[in-house]
Amino acid sequence: MQKKKRNVIVGQSGGPTAAINSSLAGVYRTAIDRGYTKVYGMIHGVQGLMEGRYVDLSEHIQTGLDAELLKRTPAAYLGSCRFKLPEIFEDKAVYEKIFEILDKLAIDCFIYIGGNDSMDTIKKLSDYAIISGSTVRFVGCPKTIDNDLALTDHTPGYGSAAKYIGTSVKEIIRDGWSLETEKGQVIIVEIMGRNAGWLTGAAALSKGEDCDGPDAIYLPELPFDLEKFIKKIKGILAKKPNVVVAVSEGVKTKDGKYVSDLDDSPDYVDAFGHKQLTGAARYLASYVSREIGCKTRAIELSTLQRAASHCTSRVDILEAYEVGGAAMKAADEGDTGKMVVIQRLSDDPYQAGTEVKDVHKIANDERLVPREWITKDGTFVTDEFITYVRPLIQGDVAPIMVDGIPRHLYRPGFQDKL
């Protein structure tokens, strides 16, 4: 007789995305379909779990409509955390505590939706399970707008962020052209991605039959040269009065200093002496203004780019759902210490499937934009980059509108003090 299935626990970790809750919906659906008794959700990931904070997800996802709302709810429904487990030999007590809770909740499968740090958690917990003889299976479900996870073609969350960035940059370009200014105008758009330029490169998606796209794109993969930058801007301004440049928040000079740190204004130091990041775009806009004397504007897409569930990609939201389901399926079928990856079968027509890979080969590894997908002069992405991203932004998931505003799935007490 088949062993009776017990319970599942799922958590979310790392930076929020517009697709991470679709993965949560996928995990939940597959867990229920495969006969698990209860699906628990960790509140604020392993950090919350260690404090005994979790919910029974069946109380949250009661109807099919709830599941649809969840797919359209931005940021981590369960709350997220940035918490790195110690090495097992450093602090065994932490692991004993977590496994005690898993034991108490009769957990068979532990699914963690997250990025690099989260996969490190899956790696360590699955290692500990082997050492300690626990039968709990640990499977990771990829998520990050940064698209920097190894071994997977791309990560859920990236496509929607890329779509929002392409759409917004196109609107910014159009807006910039409305008004003429005597000496021209330079708009610098700052896009997320500390080390990987996947998001910043997505600004090129604005280019098409009806728009020239941004005039330059600077990714963090290559050293940023202020002199060359100003020369480039001057050259463009000689040909057109409105210039739009996309820069990664993480651009660094060749000596490794963040451009956003070049500003030594004393005003942005907090009570602890921490310098508040001024922003690469603000610094560059100020620099251009001083060097060229034209009108400038710095625009940060800020958290809007990762939370814009009103402008998501259908491919992305559906893949996030599938990947959640695939993670649950893998754990159900006995996998542990694994992460689900997406494998692209074809660009056009776009086809992709999921596979399961060893999390030890993924955790703490960062996948950057290949050098050959950046133009030789380092100021734009190539057609190969566009061919890669384009399929990931296709289709829409219409928000469910209530009284003119997108409805999200409410989590009782989510705005209360804990």
**Residue 176 sits in the site that holds a second copy (CB under 8 A):** yes
**Residue 260 sits in the site that holds a second copy (CB under 8 A):** no
Query: CB of 171: closest distance to a second copy in angstroms?
Result: 4
> Which one of the spans 96-104, 106-114, 360-368, 410-418 is the region binding a second copy (CB under 8 A)?
410-418
Closer to a second copy by Cβ: residue 236 or 251? 236
**Residue 203 sits in the site that holds a second copy (CB under 8 A):** no
**Residue 52 sits in the site that holds a second copy (CB under 8 A):** no
Among 119, 122, 311, 318, binds a second copy (CB under 8 A): 311
- Two tokens, residue 398: 């219409």
Task: Please tell me which residue in 146, 148, 316, 332 is annotated as part of the active site.
Answer: 146
Strands, DSSP E only, in 90-134?
A: 107-114
**Residue 254 sits in the site that holds a second copy (CB under 8 A):** no
**DSSP codes of every residue in 123-136:** HHHHHHHHHHT---
Element (H, E) at 323: helix 314-332
CB 34 within 8 A of CB 328: yes
Q: What is the dihedral of CA 143, 148, 152, 154, to 10 degrees?
A: 70
Residue closest to 231 by CA, chosen among 291, 159, 282, 294:
291
Among 7, 167, 253, 375, binds a second copy (CB under 8 A): 167
**Residue 55 sits in the site that holds a second copy (CB under 8 A):** no
CB 69 within 8 A of CB 37: no
DSSP 256: S
Query: CB of 198: closest distance to a second copy in angstroms?
Result: 16
Total interface residues for a second copy by CB under 8 A:
89
> Which one of the spans 92-100, 176-184, 320-328, 336-344 is the region binding a second copy (CB under 8 A)?
176-184
**Residue 382 sits in the site that holds a second copy (CB under 8 A):** no
Element (H, E) at 351: strand 350-358
- Interatomic CA distance for residues 61 and 24, integer angstroms: 10
**Residue 67 sits in the site that holds a second copy (CB under 8 A):** no
The interface with a second copy within residues 278-297 (CB under 8 A) comprises: 285-286, 289-293, 296-297
- Interatomic CA distance for residues 266 and 250, integer angstroms: 21
- Two tokens, residue 184: 């021209």
Among 23, 152, 185, 242, binds a second copy (CB under 8 A): 242
What are residue 356's DSSP bridge partners?
Answer: 340
**Residue 406 sits in the site that holds a second copy (CB under 8 A):** yes
Q: Is 358 a catalytic residue?
A: no
CB 113 within 8 A of CB 20: yes
**Residue 195 sits in the site that holds a second copy (CB under 8 A):** no
**Residue 174 sits in the site that holds a second copy (CB under 8 A):** yes
The interface with a second copy within residues 312-341 (CB under 8 A) comprises: 313
**Residue 395 sits in the site that holds a second copy (CB under 8 A):** yes
Q: What is the dihedral of CA 121, 127, 130, 133, to 10 degrees?
A: -50
> Which one of the spans 93-101, 135-143, 205-213, 323-331 is the region binding a second copy (CB under 8 A)?
205-213
- Interatomic CA distance for residues 68 and 231, integer angstroms: 50
Query: CB of 358: closest distance to a second copy in angstroms?
Result: 28
Catalytic residues: 146
